[in-house]
Structures are given as structure tokens and as C-alpha cells.
Structure 1
Amino acid sequence: MTRDLWRDLGAHQREEGVAFAVWAPNAREVQVLGDFNGWDGHAHALTRGDDGIWRGSVEGIGDGALYKYAVHGADGVWRQKADPFATWAEVPPDNASRVFTSSHRWTDDAWVRDRATRQPWAEPMSVYEVHLGSWRRGLSYQELAQTLVPYVVERGYTHVELMPVMEHPFGGSWGYQVTGYYAPTSRFGDPDDFRALVDAFHAAGIGVILDWVPAHFPRDEWALARFDGTPLYEHPDPRRGEHPDWGTYVFDLTKGEVREFLLANAFWWFEEFHVDGLRVDAVASMLYLDYSRGPGGWTPNAQGGNIDLEAVSFFQELNSSCYARFGGIAMIAEESTAYDGVTRDVAYDGLGFGFKWNLGWMHDTLGYVAVDPMYRSHDHHRLTFAMMYHHAENFVLPLSHDEVVHGKGSLLGKMPGDPWKRFANLRALLAYQWSHPGKQLTFMGAEIAQEREWSEERSLDWEVLDSPEHAGVQRLVSDLNARYVANPALWEDDYSPDGFAWLEADDAGSNVYAFVRRGGGRTLVCVANMSGETWQSYRVGLPDPGAWRVVLCTDDLAYGGAGASPGPDLEAEPIAWHRQPQSVDLRLPALSLTWIEPVDG
């Protein structure tokens, strides 16, 4: 098999009709059945090759034809199976595959060429995570191109990250239980409609990252499970082939054909849909043989350890091959442990990802802001600890969908205190995320201070924007993004020690944090007052003399604050402070974050 094996397997229009090819090495017989033969495949039996691939053609059919494979398994049971390489499917809950030939004409050649010259880790990356079905319910891919794309542009994000768009039968899985790895879900249109959505994002200057799920797949009998009457895609040993948490099967990465199915799938989304990155879900569940498994529930590797060596080599091959073929992309790991070298180069025994989600930062930060400001001095370290290990990996700071479901409440709902303090807390949290080294990701709804916990069954509560407090948060996010993109101090040296320095990390009594960001010849000082009190006079050391200006303050009236900003213009005084030769006396509004920069740089 080859890395482009989708060009061979699946259903393809040929001169003689539609050619079908499916890997089922242990099957006794395979037939094609569909709406073109009354769902009786006796007249369209396929022929098995030495490679275990069954092939054949059906004349007189074309795009849109519905089909399945009737597989007579090694266990003697006939099963009707969807095509693992189908590029289009029926709208769930129906599950037949559809013949499809793309006719989309891409308009993003300049985007793809330019992307290849760039390095994502040294570029601005502000990611808006979206669940397409519930951003505004009922919209098609075409309608999303007309509404979601301009919205993302207006908010100033550089990228969108789409929760899994691969075909899945159960909407409540949010796409994380995939049955059609090569097919964008038909809920919102056909595959070319999805291509057009990606094209529209690129035309607007927005990168597209897809959530990708190689860790497991569901047990639905009509899909990959026991495909030819044997554990074909899944590992035969239940201690490695069944996931105890999710009730799903786990891919058998000891088989070359299964690895190629997944590796080719990653290539498919880059090649055929021009996406700019993959966020790989549940990496930790693949790396550890004992993940969620107690004694006797797992088997050690050949070295006696708990690391899945096949998964390690799979990730190394995935990342090295994707980066070699597709310039300027981003491979992002959702990895929840301290596994060493997730973003280290494969040549140095790393996994080779470009980025890793910093779930430790997320837990510490959300834990801190949930504490009443009166008691935060005891938790001061939660906001400083991430910089103890920040340079170990290329981190993304995620406030994702996982933090606003299953009874966790919305981001606004986590904030303590009266309504004013809750909004002020949220504004300070978001500005702190944008200020901290590392790229940032926020889930849809955070930017409007969504009140209710997210549910895939309803749209975001857009009506809250009638309230000035909610509209103020949305305005703040737009301004954060605009100032972030414009200032390389906030992104160019995210992963270099030169890009960050603490000014004040230890003032737990005042709940104040101050630090310097540098990059591209620019300097920015960030000061956060996370207490419930306004400090009328707080001295902060400055690295440069002369005039300084306030770039942003979350207490601005425009954002719903009290308007107690330190003022637009400041002058550094020759008073040594915070290990700096000069300083400035600031008014720090309660529950606020302020950015200041030298007037000349």
C-alpha cells in the first residue's frame, strides 16, 4: 500500500463504470450492492487479489449512487459494510456510502504557496474552536462560508479548529467516534461544499485545523468493526484493542495496512482539502499501554514498559512524513501527560509534533480564576507554575470545548462573585491567555461570554449580545486579536527564553503578576491585578526609559469595565524596581490586565 492509497481503494469513476476496491483479506466473498442492483450483490461479486484487496466494476452508474459491500466473513457471517474509503455518505442515521467525484476548482494556490514559506511556531496563532453543528444550528457548509468565515475575520482570529468533521453516526459524540475517515459529514452538504468552506477561509486569510481521531473507532457493525469477520482494523487482544473508557475499538498499529490507512488519511485531508493542520485527539491514550487499565488489563511492551512502541513509531512517521510533504502545516498533539519530547524532532527521538496542548496550564488557570479573589493569595503559584516547564514543549494554551460541558459550566459560569466581578474575571482571564507565551485556543462562545454550558443540541446564545457586558467581552476579544497579531512581542519568540521575563511573580498578597514579552524588536509589559481591589499606586519596573503608553486595559468602559485605566500616557522614572533600572507608578483596576509599551517601540 502507498501513502496515497485513497486513489486506488474505494469507489472511483472509470471509463468502464465505477471501479470498487476494498481490503478484506480474510473474507470468503465480497459483493457490491446498492440502489443500482436492488441491494442484491450477487451480480456484482468482486475478485480477490494476492494483496487481500477485492476489486471489480459496475457499469452504468455514477456520482451519487448508493452502495455497500456485502462481506462474507471468515466467521461465516454475511455483513453489509460501509466503504472504509468512501468519500461521501448518506446523512446519518442512514449509513450507505455514495460515489463521489470532486469538481471543485481551488482558488487558494497563493495561500498554499505562502504557507509553505512560513514557520507556524514563529507566527501569530489565535485559534477559534468550532463545532459546526451548533455554532448556529441548521447551517450548511455553504451557509457557514457566508456567515462563520466573516465572523472569524471580524473577531480577528488567525485560525479555526473544527471539531471532527469526519462522518460519524452519533451527533452526541461531537464527531469523536468516526465511521467514515475519508468523508466529511454529509449533515451539512457534500464534500465539495466542505472544500468550498476551506477555500473561503483561505480567501479570508484564515487557516483551517481539523480535529483528527486515530486513537479509536466505534463498534457499529456496518463500519470498520470486525470488517472481514476478524479483528482487521482493531487489535485482536482486548487488552490492546478495546478502550475501557469509551466502549470503542483501538486501531492495531502492529499491522502495516492499518498504519497506512491512518497515515494516508492524514495525507488525504492535507492533499484533498488543503487543510493547514491536524489536532490529534487523545494522544496519551495511544502512547500508554496501561491508559485507563488496571493490573491485568494491559500487557507490557518488549522492553517490559508501559509505552506503546508501535504508537511512538506511528506518530514519528506521521509527523515526519506530513511535514516533509506539506509545507507550513501544524501538527498538534492533545497529550495530557508529561511524556517527554512530544514536540521534539524525530531525529532526536521525539514524537515530532509541532505543538502540544498545555492542559496543565488550563487546569491551573481555571482553578485559580474559580477561587474568590479574597482567597487567591493561597493559589498564587497556579499562574506562575506553567513558566517552570514552558520551554519543554511548543505549547498551545487551550480553553476548549472540554471545559464547558458535562456540568463544568461556561467560562463565565466558573467565575466567582457578583455579575460585575464575573465579567471582570472573564476579561482578565482572556487577556492573560493572550499575554502568556504559547499560542492560544478558545472555544466558540467564550468570546461572547456565553452564560449557559455548551450543548451540541442548540446554537450559541447569540441574543446575549444585546447586553453591553457580553458585547464588551466580544469587543475585547476582537481587540486582543488585533493587537496580538500586530505585535510580534506576543508571538515571535513564544518558545525562546528571550521572549519572556518575570518582573513580579511573587506578590501573592496583592494578587499582582507582571512580566515582559519581547519579539521582533518590540517590547510589551503585561500587568495583571487579579485581586478584587483597585491598587491606586503600584510600582512596576520597566526595561526601557522614556515615554510609555497603555495599549489595552480590560477595565476599559468599551469592554464593560469601570474605566479605571492607568491612563493613555506614562513616563518611566529613574527609580530602580523589579531588577529594572526604571519604573512607573500605575493605577491597577480590580480584576484587570493591562498592556503597556514604549512609545518608540
Structure 2
Amino acid sequence: MEEHEDNVSIPEFNNLLQADPNLKRYENDFRRRHDMLRKQVLLLEEAEGGVDQFTRSYRSFGVQRLPDNSLFFKEWAPAAEALFLTGEFNGWDKFSHPYSKKEFGKWELTIPPKSDNSPAVDHRTRLKVVVHTKDGERLYRISPWAKYVTREEKSVIYDWVHWDPPQPYVQIHPRPKKPKSLRIYEAHVGIGSPEPKIASYNNFTHNVLPRIKDLGYNCIQLMAIMEHAYYASFGYQITSFFAASSRYGTPDELKELIDVAHSMGIVVLLDVVHSHASKNTEDGLNAFDGSDSCFFHSPPRGEHTLWDSRLFNYASWEVLRFLLSNLRWWMEEYCFDGFRFDGITSMLYHHHGIGTGFSGDYNEYFGLQVDEESLVYLMLSNHILHSLYPDCITIAEDVSGMPALCRRVEEGGLGFDYRLAMAIPDKWIQILKELKDEEWDMGNIVFTLTNRRYGEKCIAYAESHDQVLI
């Protein structure tokens, strides 16, 4: 029997109401959201053994080397008729290594080691998943869980490259303590050089990090790290969510960059893009199993018309597994200290903010226009991250002004630590472009600088990549 919203308890909801009494009339919305979160956590406990195990699914999906040097492959492709593995290891034979079909759209394959007991697939050799659809098509795909993908110089398509170095980089410096106040240096590794070329992780480590430290920054926010086939997207059309961009170097070189930053007392945040994904099929998530859905809603709900990209189905169990494990992967494997969640306005509302002006009327933040499935995904992400990593930092990019965005989940909020004060850089641009010096309105400037929700921490800034690059 469903629990009525009036009976749902939010442990510290009164704290939120004390900060903003206007939210009292939307109490049922908060209780419904919190109940959705509570039920999701209970389901994870019952079905998966808890959030810790569920969010470590990168240890079972994709490709894993077993203790006996066998290789275990696992994918989720619910609409596929058959799956095969091909690659340099088997001379690109399309049928010699079939996956076995399991429950709930999952497919598994185990390949024993070679005669010399080394793994059947060598480090840095190419692989492909061959998907046979119910319509008889044969598709070549990259595993959604691929840890490393590269592109040949004369090709526009990325290849899945098996990454299993004999001596992987081991980070030695602990994470710095969470700064009381952030001073953020936003950076794009590829443009971190005065030379007309794509710069490297090593260049950033040796030439840029020392300057950042000398300037007094205590936080670096790295954009364009998650692999993106279209370089001009500045990292916002993601094709491989678990792969650090190979344009700048290897995964080990990114790990070294973060390790050196930690040795300088600098925390490192990842600009994470879970609001949408590239429409690429051959080297992206789109149509992985041959269907128009899989990780996404079917069109039209699953398409972002302005970004020309696909939108995740946050109510899908396997999509939750994929995205939550993705956050955990970057925290565990690379030792990032937190995330800037990009473009979450698109997630919060069914209209994605397209053609919508937000006036601050509270009715804009509640009701049928709110996509509560994706909103609860953000609550769940923050709940898990802050439970597992108390010093984890999460920043929200939202243009709408959603109330309680940066209030704790226990209070009924979404759980972010900070929100970007996005009106401030726009105000400086307007002043510099449109006004003479003597026309500056100090009252208006002060209003813009202080226009924030009570009790929610903001990050003020003069400019970011939005102002510089776009």
C-alpha cells in the first residue's frame, strides 16, 4: 500500500522552512520527492546489496580481468538479438566469441587466458561489440563501460582500446581537506598551452599546475575530460562516459596530474555531464542495442532539440547503475574530489528551460513541469556521494533558481554544496558593453552580487568558459 505524502517524514524539513517559509505550501512536493528517494535507496539495499555495491558496477560491467587471467565481459543490451566480441585478439572474427544472454537484458562472456597464462586480449589492442538486432542488422559498437578510446589520425570514429597496463599509476598523495572557501581555477587541458596544438596532461602537470598554485587557487575544475568525439563541443557531447579523453594522453597521465595537484594542497573537480549524451552511434551510447531507447527515453522525450543530443531515462534501473557508477568511478579510480554538474536545468524540467524565462515565481519550480525522476536522480547522487565521501564537493549549474538546490537531502533539498551565481558574469558583460563608467548603478551591482537564496552557498565569478568560449 502506497504511503500518503502527508505521512512521509523529512528528518530536518523544519530547517528548510525556517530558511524559507514560502516553501510551506509546497510541502507535499517535497515529501513526494523525498519518498521517491527513500524508496529508491531501499530498493538498492534489497536488490543490489546496497549503494556501495551498486555504484561499483564498473567492476563487473565492460571488461574485467579475473584472478586466473581470464577476461570477463558484460553488457546491458535489452533490445539485442545476439552479442559478439571481436577485435585484434581474434583477427576481427565477428562470430567466434558470442556473449551468453542473461536475465534483464544482460549479456556475459568469459575468455580463458592464452597458453602462457597471459590475458587473451593484450593491453592497448582494439575491441568492438558486434550487436545483432531483431531486425537482422549487424552493428559495431563501443562498450558503454570502455575505460579508454582512441581515434586513428585519418578516422573520425573512436575505437575501444583495452586498457590494462602491467604497472598502472598508483596515486600516493591523499586528498586535501575540503576548503572552507573555494577559489576555483577552471581549466581545459587541451588549450593549456600557448602553442597552436592540443596540449597534454603532462604539459598541464608540469607547466600549468605550478602557476595555479602560485596564484593562490585551492581548487581546479577540469572541463572536457570525459571522452567526446566532437572536440569543438568543449567536452559537452560525451561519447564515452568512463574514458578520460585520449587527446591529451593516457589515463595514468591524468591520474598523475590529479596526484600532483593533491601534493600542492589543491582539490580537483570534474565537470561531469549527466544531463545529456552525444547522438553518436558508432562511438557513443546512442542506439547501443539497436533500439531508439536503451539508456535514453524514446523520442521525442529522449531528444534535446537545442543541443541535438539524447536524454537519459533516469527511472531505468540500469541507467541508474551506469550513471551512479560513473560518478563513483571518477572518485575511486582517478581520485577526483567532487563534481560540477553541468546543465542541470535541462534535467529539472520537462521543458528543459527551452523558451522559458524564470521570473522567480515559486510555482515555476513545482508542479507538472518538473521532471521529478531526474530531480530525484540528482538527490540520490548527492546522497550517495556525501555519504561515501564526506569531503566531496558538488556544484550545480542551474539558471532557473530552483529552491533548496543547495540544501541538504535530509532537509528536503537536492543536496548540492554550491550553486553557480550565473547572473553575476552576465551583469559584468552588460555593464562593460552597454554603460559608460559614470552610468554604473552601484545599487544594482550590489543587488546582483547578493541576489541568492538564504542559506544556500553560491560561487560568484567574473567569467567562465560560457563567457570566454561561446
TMscore range, shorter length: 0.7 to 0.9
Match of 1:316 among 376, 379, 390: 379
**Per-residue CA shift, 1:54-79, capped at 9, x if unaligned?**
11133422221210100112343211
Match of 1:242 among 271, 279, 303: 303
1:385 and 1:199 mapped to 2: Cα distance? Answer: 37
Match of 1:229 in 2: 290
Match of 2:169 in 1: 104
**Structure 1 residue 285 displacement after superposition:** 0.5
CA change 1:394–1:65 in 2 (3 A) is: same
Match of 1:91 in 2: 151
5+ long unaligned stretches in structure 2: 1-47, 49-53, 114-119, 357-365
Match of 2:188 among 128, 131, 134: 131
Aligned pairs (5 A) from 1:441-456: none
Match of 1:196 in 2: 256
CA change 1:390–1:350 in 2 (3 A) is: closer
Match of 1:401 in 2: 465
Matched, 1:205 2:262: no
CA change 1:30–1:86 in 2 (3 A) is: same
Q: Please give the secondary structure, in 1, of the residue aligned with 2:419.
A: strand
1:374 and 1:167 mapped to 2: Cα distance? Answer: 44
2:183 and 2:56 mapped to 1: Cα distance? Answer: 31
**Per-residue CA shift, 1:39-62, capped at 9, x if unaligned?**
222101111111322111334222
**Structure 1 residue 405 displacement after superposition:** 2.7
1:288 and 1:184 mapped to 2: Cα distance? Answer: 29
5+ long unaligned stretches in structure 1: 296-302, 407-601
Greater strand share, structure number: 1
- Which range moves more in the overlay, 167-176 or 222-231? 222-231
CA change 1:38–1:151 in 2 (3 A) is: same
Aligned pairs (5 A) from 1:345-384: 345-378=408-441, 380-384=443-447
1:348 and 1:150 mapped to 2: Cα distance? Answer: 40
Contact 2:62 2:146 in 1 (8 A): yes
Matched, 1:164 2:217: no
Match of 1:19 in 2: 72
Q: Please give the secondary structure, in 2, of the residue aligned with 1:36.
A: helix
1:290 and 1:148 mapped to 2: Cα distance? Answer: 40
Q: Please give the secondary structure, in 1, of the residue aligned with 2:242.
A: strand
2:435 and 2:225 mapped to 1: Cα distance? Answer: 39
- Which range moves more in the overlay, 385-394 or 260-269? 385-394
TM-score with structure 1 length normalisation?
0.62
Q: What is the number of equivalent residue pairs in this alignment?
A: 390
Match of 2:84 in 1: 31
Match of 1:180 among 234, 240, 256: 240
Contact 2:192 2:204 in 1 (8 A): no
1:84 and 1:78 mapped to 2: Cα distance? Answer: 18
1:23 and 1:392 mapped to 2: Cα distance? Answer: 42
1:143 and 1:290 mapped to 2: Cα distance? Answer: 41
CA change 1:75–1:355 in 2 (3 A) is: farther
Match of 1:450 in 2: none
Contact 1:167 1:175 in 2 (8 A): yes
Contact 1:131 1:162 in 2 (8 A): yes
RMSD: 2.0
CA change 1:16–1:56 in 2 (3 A) is: farther
The amino acid across from 1:280 in the alignment is F
Q: Please give the secondary structure, in 2, of the residue aligned with 1:385.
A: helix
2:441 and 2:379 mapped to 1: Cα distance? Answer: 42
CA change 1:393–1:40 in 2 (3 A) is: same
Q: Please give the secondary structure, in 1, of the residue aligned with 2:431.
A: helix
Aligned pairs (5 A) from 1:493-508: none
Match of 2:211 among 143, 147, 151: 151
Higher relative contact order (CA 8 A, sep 6+): 2
Contact 2:271 2:340 in 1 (8 A): yes
1:336 and 1:268 mapped to 2: Cα distance? Answer: 28
Matched, 1:65 2:118: no
Matched, 1:215 2:268: no
**Structure 1 residue 18 displacement after superposition:** 2.3
- Structure of larger gyration radius: 1
Q: Please give the secondary structure, in 1, of the residue aligned with 2:247.
A: helix
Match of 1:255 in 2: 316
Matched, 1:42 2:102: no
Matched, 1:3 2:55: yes
TM-score with structure 2 length normalisation?
0.79
**Structure 1 residue 12 displacement after superposition:** 1.8
